[in-house]
Amino acid sequence: MNILLDTHAFIWLLNGDKTLSEKALVEIRNPENQIYISDASFWEISIKIKIGKLQFAQSFEKLMEYAVNNNILILPLKFDYYTELLKLELHHRDPFDRIIIAQAIIENMTIITIDDKFKLYNIPIIW
């Protein structure tokens, strides 16, 4: 299964946060699954660091290193995702979440997220 991590799921995984559900951890650790993080998540994290809403003990560059070292593939943004955004209902107004939803739809992925609004888009969710 191809799994796309929502930004908070990636952060919780990185920090070993107990908020990440056991079900999500099992799927992340399953060697048959390929785990992805969106380029948009790094964009979101960088903005939140800059405005003081998010802090890490390690440098921002270490986030990419963590992803690479843990076989988490980076899902780059492409034009098809923006086209999909135009089709999405406005159940969710967060632009970073909306692009993650569009990526999951186009790429036929399951999303790991605690955000209940994702379910309104009829995409597979793990939590």
CA distances from 107 to 54, 110, 120 (A): 29, 9, 18
Kindly report the number of other CB atoms within 10 A of residue 50's CB atom: 10
**20-72 residue pLDDT tens:** 999 999 999 999 999 999 999 999 999 999 999 998 878 899 999 999 999 99
What is the value of pTM for the model shown? 0.94
CA distances from 35 to 54, 75, 102, 105 (A): 23, 10, 17, 15
**Cα–Cα distance between 108 and 51 in angstroms, integer?**
33
Residue 35: beta bridge partners? 3, 72
Check pLDDT > 90 for residue 90.
Answer: no
Average pLDDT, integer, range 2-27: 96
What is the structure's pLDDT at 92? 84
Which domains does the chain show, CATH number per domain?
2-126 (3.40.50.1010)
